[in-house]
Amino acid sequence: MASYHHLIRALSRLDPYEKAGLDSFRQTGTMLRHGQYLYLTMHGTDRHTLETINDPPALREQGQIVASFHERYGTTGLTEADFLPPDRNVAIEKLLRYVEIPAHSHEFIECAYVLRGSCMHRVGENEVLQQEGSFILIPVPTRHQLIAVGDSLCLTVKIRLSHFVKMSIPHLPAMIYPISFQCGEDPAAESMLLFLYEQQHLDLPYRNELMESTATSLITYILQRYLHTMQPLYSIALRDQRMLDMINYMYNHYRTVTLHDLAAEFHYNESYLSRMFQEQAGRSFSETVKDFKLRKAAELLKTKHWKLDHICEEIGYKDTRQFIRSFKEMYGITPDKFRKRVQIES
């Protein structure tokens, strides 16, 4: 097995943005804010100090940059076009330390592996401390936030959604919410991850092919060895396997599933199941089904040129006007405006 001690040492060194974040943390007790980080990516870290990026003109520009960022990605999530190189299906990077990366969603699959230390992972209101050896799979619609704790080391892998589907990894659990696995000290998993990183920075033939096959091998290996450690990262309640099984069933039958269907499938009284769902999942059965349908609708609006009537039929909505109202409640804009925004950004 290859030794990657040199790569670990290189990754452990602070890059210019992390140095600026560490300076901010030492002086103010807070990490480099997202607006400050974006400002430095545009103007360069060599031209600015912590004092100059807090000058009133710089702060005004940062406000404009953050507003523009939210306008571009706040509704649709981070796009593959902007966050994956056009010639690659797989990309890997280090999670920046001492830099605030706000909660976000994305239209690609993201994996995160904690190499050293720990990483705080926030999914909705749930907060989980991912320890060394944690591997996390984050599906497309999830809004989440990853924060490296102190001088920890975490690598994130982005996988184009269309490629992830083609990977056809056997026995991959239905990824409704992020799932994590605890690998502990596993040199094989760590080597595959570091091999991915090394390949990305080598200008050699078959680099992309090797990265794709290694990403598949890494996920398959973790499923083989650590499936028994899997935990959904949604709420403590959903760590109950019975509830997770029911939500998986609903996800796979979201077009037509009813409370009666679910109660019959899992042998519950309907009234009891309705109360149980509200208490353990934190929202009603109907709200969860609607959430699945609208997320699928957003995916279809991004990838298909279908009319709204066709999309409604595909996701199990009978009333197009009700669909438009529900979609606007969830995403803040109508389906037509959502589609136009995606087309402009792609």
- The pLDDT > 70 percentage for the chain reads 93
What torsion do the CA atoms of 282, 284, 289, 291 make, to the nearest 10 degrees? -50
Token output for 146:
């990853």
Q: Which helix (H) or strand (E) holds 123?
A: strand 118-123
| b/e per residue 310-336 (b: at least 16 CB within 10 A) | ebbeebbbeeeeebbebbeeebeeebe
Whether this model's pTM surpasses 0.75: no
The residue count of the chain comes to 346
For residue 126, pLDDT beyond 50 = yes
pLDDT band of residue 176 (cuts 50, 70, 90) is: low
pLDDT, position 279: 77
Domains annotated for the chain, with CATH where assigned, are 5-73 (no CATH), 80-232 (2.60.120.280), 236-345 (1.10.10.60)
3-class state of residue 86 by DSSP: coil
Higher pLDDT, 151 or 282: 151
Higher pLDDT, 328 or 331: 328
Ramachandran category for residue 235: left, alpha or beta (phi over 0 → left; psi -120 to 50 → alpha): beta
Across residues 202-207, what is the average pLDDT?
Answer: 93
Across residues 148-175, what is the average pLDDT?
Answer: 84
pLDDT, position 346: 55
pLDDT tens column, 207-254: 999 999 999 999 999 999 998 888 777 644 444 667 767 877 887 788
